[in-house]
C-alpha cells in the first residue's frame, strides 16, 4: 500500500554510531531539513537526552502534531517491545534499554523501531524496485507479478530484510534478515560480512597491492580505479569487487532459495554495481554437482541482472504461451520460466529507509 497522499506526519531517526539524524515524513517525503546530533556520550543518560532533544527539535518545526515516531536503530534488540540490547557502536546501551516505551511516555504517541535493513527492504517494496518492475512487466505478455522482495545493503556491514506480499517479515527474536551471519564461501570459518563490506573491499585491495591498510584508498576511489577513472592497480580493484560479488552472490542464492522473490541492493557500495553486479548474478546461477557427477542448477529459479539491458529484456519477455484448459474451449496464459531479477535501489538507501519507517508506522497504526 502506498502512503504518498497520506497527510499524517511521522517523526523519524536514522541512528548511527557517529550521528543521530532526525527528520519528519509526510506523504512519503521528508518535510523538514534533517537535524544532526552527534551520537557520542559518556553515559546512557546523555545519549538518551540527545534522542529526546532531537525529536523535540523536529516537533517544534511541525505545524501539525505527528501521529507516531518510527526509526531504525542498531541491534541486537527486541524491536517489537522497543528494547535495545548491548550495542557495539553505542557502548552506553547495556543490559536492555527500553527506548521505545521511554519515547512513548515523553511524546504521548506510538513508537516503532526496526532494523535499517528491514526498513530499506520495506521502502523498496512499497515505492521502489518492486512496484517499478511489476509496472514494467505488466506491459509484456507475461502474467508474472512479483510480491516478494529480499533487500540487502552493502556498506559498513551487510544487512538484509524480507518483504512478503506486502508484509515486512518479522522474526521471533528480532533477528530476521540477518544475512550477514551466513557462512563465507571463501573463508568458511568467517561470516560473509568479512568480504561484503567496506573493510572487505579495502582488505582485498591492500593485499593485492601490498599497501598498508591505513594507506588504502576508500571504496569509491577503488571503484574509480577499477573503472579506469583514477590511477592505481586496476586488476586489484576489480578483484576486490569480484570477491565481494562472489561471496554476496553465494549468500543471496542461499537466502532467495527460501524466499523466491526479487532482490534489491542498497548501501554505500551499491553505486559500484558496474564492477560487481553481473559477477554476483553469475554466482547465483552457478551449478552444483550431484554425487554421481552431473550438474544441478544452484537454484530452481534463474536470476537476471536488471541493470543490464540484454538481461532485463530476457527477464521481461520470459517464455509466455497459451495453454488449453482440459475439457474446455478456454485458453489461459502460462509462463513456465521461473525467474527473479536483481537490481539496485530505485529510491536510494536513505530515502528507502525513510519511506519504510513511515509506511511501517502507518500500517501498524491502521492495523
The whole-model pTM stands at 0.93
Its domain, for residue 101, covers 9-114
Looking at the structure, do residues 39 and 92 belong to the same domain, yes or no? yes
Calculate mean pLDDT across residues 170-187: 94
pLDDT score recorded for residue 142: 86
Looking at the structure, do residues 52 and 133 belong to the same domain, yes or no? no
Does residue 367 sit within a domain?
no
Banded model confidence at residue 89, pLDDT cuts 50, 70, 90: confident
- Note if the bond before 76 is cis, omega within 30 degrees: yes
At residue 112, φ and ψ (nearest 5 deg) are -125, 130
Helix (H) or strand (E) holding 153: strand 148-154
Looking at the structure, do residues 100 and 160 belong to the same domain, yes or no? no
Cα separation, 189 vs 349, in Å, equals: 30
Looking at the structure, do residues 266 and 308 belong to the same domain, yes or no? yes
Could you say which of 79, 114, 149 is where a domain stops?
Answer: 114
Looking at the structure, do residues 227 and 80 belong to the same domain, yes or no? no
Could you say which of 114, 147, 163 is where a domain stops?
Answer: 114
Looking at the structure, do residues 206 and 327 belong to the same domain, yes or no? yes
Looking at the structure, do residues 153 and 236 belong to the same domain, yes or no? yes
Looking at the structure, do residues 240 and 96 belong to the same domain, yes or no? no
Cα atoms found within 13 Å of the Cα of residue 310, Cβ hemisphere only: 1
Does residue 301 sit within a domain?
yes
Looking at the structure, do residues 56 and 148 belong to the same domain, yes or no? no
Looking at the structure, do residues 149 and 220 belong to the same domain, yes or no? yes
CATH of the domain at 96: 3.30.420.40
Outline where DSSP puts E strands in 193-336: 262-266, 287-289, 295-297, 302-305, 321-324, 331-334
Question: What are the pLDDT digits (tens) for 307-327?
Answer: 999 999 999 999 999 999 999
Question: What are the pLDDT digits (tens) for 73-88?
Answer: 988 999 999 999 999 8
Banded model confidence at residue 294, pLDDT cuts 50, 70, 90: very high
Task: Give the count of domains, the chain.
Answer: 2
Does residue 357 sit within a domain?
no
Given a cut of 80, is residue 17 above it in pLDDT?
A: no
Does residue 364 sit within a domain?
no
Looking at the structure, do residues 150 and 41 belong to the same domain, yes or no? no
Calculate mean pLDDT across residues 280-300: 96
Could you say which of 82, 114, 146 is where a domain stops?
Answer: 114
Q: Which residues of 18-54 are buried (b: 16+ CB within 10 A; e: fewer)?
A: eebbbbbbbebebebebbebebebeeeeebbebbeeb
**Average pLDDT across the chain, whole number:** 95
Looking at the structure, do residues 154 and 104 belong to the same domain, yes or no? no
Does residue 360 sit within a domain?
no
Percent of the chain with pLDDT over 70: 100
Does residue 89 sit within a domain?
yes
Question: What are the pLDDT digits (tens) for 185-220?
Answer: 999 999 999 999 999 999 999 999 999 998 999 999
Given a cut of 90, is residue 18 above it in pLDDT?
A: no
Does residue 361 sit within a domain?
no
Does residue 305 sit within a domain?
yes
Cα 70 to its chain centre, rounded Å, is 17
Amino acid at each position: 500500500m502506498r502512503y504518498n497522499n497520506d497527510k499524517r506526519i511521522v517523526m523519524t531517526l536514522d541512528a548511527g554510531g557517529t550521528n543521530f539524524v532526525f527528520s519528519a515524513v509526510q506523504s512519503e517525503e521528508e518535510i523538514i531539513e534533517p537535524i544532526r546530533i552527534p551520537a557520542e556520550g559518556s553515559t546512557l543518560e546523555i545519549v538518551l537526552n540527545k534522542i529526546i532533544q532531537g525529536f523535540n527539535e523536529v516537533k517544534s518545526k511541525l505545524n501539525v502534531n505527528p501521529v507516531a515516531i518510527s526509526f531504525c536503530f542498531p541491534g541486537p534488540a527486541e524491536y517489537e517491545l522497543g528494547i535495545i540490547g548491548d550495542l557495539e557502536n553505542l557502548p552506553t546501551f547495556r543490559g536492555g534499554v527500553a527506548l521505545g516505551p521511554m519515547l512513548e511516555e515523553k511524546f504521548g504517541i506510538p513508537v516503532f523501531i526496526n532494523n535499517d535493513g528491514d526498513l530499506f527492504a520495506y521502502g523498496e517494496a512499497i515505492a521502489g524496485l518492486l512496484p517499478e518492475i511489476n509496472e514494467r512487466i505488466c506491459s509484456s505478455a507475461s502474467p508474472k507479478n512479483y510480491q516478494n522482495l529480499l533487500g540487502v545493503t552493502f556498506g559498513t556491514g551487510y544487512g538484509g530484510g524480507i518483504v512478503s506480499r506486502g508484509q515486512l517479515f518479522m522474526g521471533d527474536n528480532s533477528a530476521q534478515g540477518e544475512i550477514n551471519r551466513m557462512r563465507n564461501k571463501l573463508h568458511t570459518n568467517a561470516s560473509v560480512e568479512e568480504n561484503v563490506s567496506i573493510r572487505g573491499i579495502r582488505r582485498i585491495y591492500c593485499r593485492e597491492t601490498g599497501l598498508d591498510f591505513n594507506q588504502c584508498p576508500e571504496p569509491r576511489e577503488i571503484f574509480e580505479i577499477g573503472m579506469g577513472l583514477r590511477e592505481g592497480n586496476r586488476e586489484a580493484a576489480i578483484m576486490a569487487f569480484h570477491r565481494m560479488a562472489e561471496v554476496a552472490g553465494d549468500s543471496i542464492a542461499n537466502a532467495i532459495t527460501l524466499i523466491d522473490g526479487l532482490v534489491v541492493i542498497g548501501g554505500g557500495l551499491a553505486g559500484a554495481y558496474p564492477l560487481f553486479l553481473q559477477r554476483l548474478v553469475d554466482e547465483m546461477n552457478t551449478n552444483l554437482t550431484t554425487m554421481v557427477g552431473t550438474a544441478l542448477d544452484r537454484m530452481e529459479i534463474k536470476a537476471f541482472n536488471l541493470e543490464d539491458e540484454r538481461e532485463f529484456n530476457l527477464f521481461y519477455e520470459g517464455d509466455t504461451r497459451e495453454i488449453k484448459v482440459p475439457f474446455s474451449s478456454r485458453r489461459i496464459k502460462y509462463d513456465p520460466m521461473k525467474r527473479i531479477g536483481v537490481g539496485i535501489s530505485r529510491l536510494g538507501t536513505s530515502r528507502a529507509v525513510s519511506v519504510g519507517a513511515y509506511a511501517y508506522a502507518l500500517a501498524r497504526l491502521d492495523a
